[in-house]
Amino acid sequence: MMRKMTMYVQEAKSERPIHELEELLLKEPGVERALIDVEDGEVKVELDETKIKESQIIRLVEESGFHVE
């Protein structure tokens, strides 16, 4: 089942962290799409809940050194 989630990542406001974050998210099985707004660090993720959970995505992002608000 497809689901959309939104989170805010402090570091997602400049090009290099955005690129790293996109790569990190898109290589995960179940993540179909990741859109990042550089203005406010908003990250929208489209995911397949049968393959990955929202909590797993947040943990992955945090364990990679990003700060989810």
Q: Chain-centre distance of CA 69, in angstroms?
A: 12
Distance between CA 25 and CA 66 in Å, rounded? 12
**For the chain, how long is the longest CA-to-CA vector?**
32
Strands (E), the chain: 2-8, 31-37, 42-48
50-65 residues labelled b (16+ CB within 10 A) or e (exposed)? eebeeeebbeebeeee
Domains of the chain, with CATH numbers? 2-63 (3.30.70.100)
**Whole-model pTM?**
0.90
Instruction: Determine the pLDDT at residue 13.
Output: 87
Instruction: Determine the pLDDT at residue 58.
Output: 97
Of the pLDDT bands very low, low, confident and very high (cuts 50, 70, 90), residue 15 is: confident
Instruction: Determine the pLDDT at residue 16.
Output: 85
pLDDT at residue 28 above 90? yes
